[in-house]
Structure 1
């Protein structure tokens, strides 16, 4: 039988690892459970991605992050968080998904795809990258449609439709274009988003202006077919030839899981979880929220750089409550 732990941390991303570092420093009996690889969300970022934040703003636990340039790449961040994990001998179980979480007699029973655990406290640091927003149009389930983008070479000399105007969409459009793809971008708004990285936005705007990348603004995908895509535009329905659809429509946190375990959510469209801003403890005593999930559907309000402090607040509160 597994011993009762002081804290189970669900989610092995940067904030989950930051919580683990604080738990270890305070000599708590802890474990990180991650359903994918280490820092799963970052692993699923595009291979050539460069962060908007500088390396020092991505640091956790006071461990320096040294990168080749001011703004680190995806590969540098993977190496950094792996080295932090190894150097600190953090305890974690990867490729193990939490299925249920139940509180009984002041303790939590956590059932995963591999075993059961018991803990006095639980930290939810599950991020928001696992559940894409769907287009909800006919043909979205075709094999040619993806909500994740990794490498541009795959799309060389193909007709590619990119949906969205975020950083991810713009990166996919520019990179596949430069590998020889015939790229069309569909944007619901009237222009490329203002949140796009400032050194990238002029590039995509210029490529659209010169016609190298075709763009439909104030438009949406109506339906997807084996060899074509129908687009609803201000001028009416347009059909274009197509081989692949990269739908970079954004992602959402798993708020349904929070609801199932009893965490209260706001009634508005943000659906922000109920938690104490000073301690990050939810309405359920012993369940804490860390990282992006604290913002509910407002996933643009919290990042690694302004969520790192959550770990200190949470562990300080757990230690105080346990009288450690």
Structure 2
């Protein structure tokens, strides 16, 4: 099994507050509150570690409040290669309405990161990826980092023999996919909204999503996964097109389900699984995560059973 490295340049401390029937403009009594280390790459690392894969996590953290991250990495056996800088990592507040099943996000500004810090993160990732790791670049970019900064990062990782999975959106994703050849990541995982933003037009049905995903594959990306919420996900390569889904599961928290899907994709790639098995594992990770708050999976047998139940439709 290949090791996994995750890169999170703009992580967050996630404060999840559960409320039964959120009343805007009124007083709400929280049923429960939970603080978790967060950020796409951190969430991927947590779920991948639960699956039993060796994981290294790097990125940028503020020295002032890294305790939740230190604790998470220690509990899960994740190698901590984060670069610490002065200041506090941002806090993102997530209000989970347990009555409606909806989550409201309040995201605060993050740290300001300079080019020198990015070089240190790149060096840490390269050191961990020397054995041909699967490298996940996840989330938004912090202030101080240009939207096209991921292009050179991906190129450097590709040169080192890594397999890069990019889960970002907006200007960074657009810049990344404008690159050519060896500058491109192996895989990307936009959701429907992010893919619509990328192509600049509505994608109202499955055929439209397939067409947009195929265009990305034709540019040189090997695997495009489009997450579709309760409808599962679309998986497109040069040779295969399929959807995978599981029955709707009652969710304790939808926060991080997309990141869990990336963890499923990444761990399946680390195990050299074919596309259908990647799809099954991806939707199983996402579904299993719905019953947990924070970057955690249930026992492996539970996730494997979900993967076997996944409904696969070849297109």
TM-score by length of 1: 0.26
Larger Rg: 1
More helix by share: 2
TM-score by length of 2: 0.26
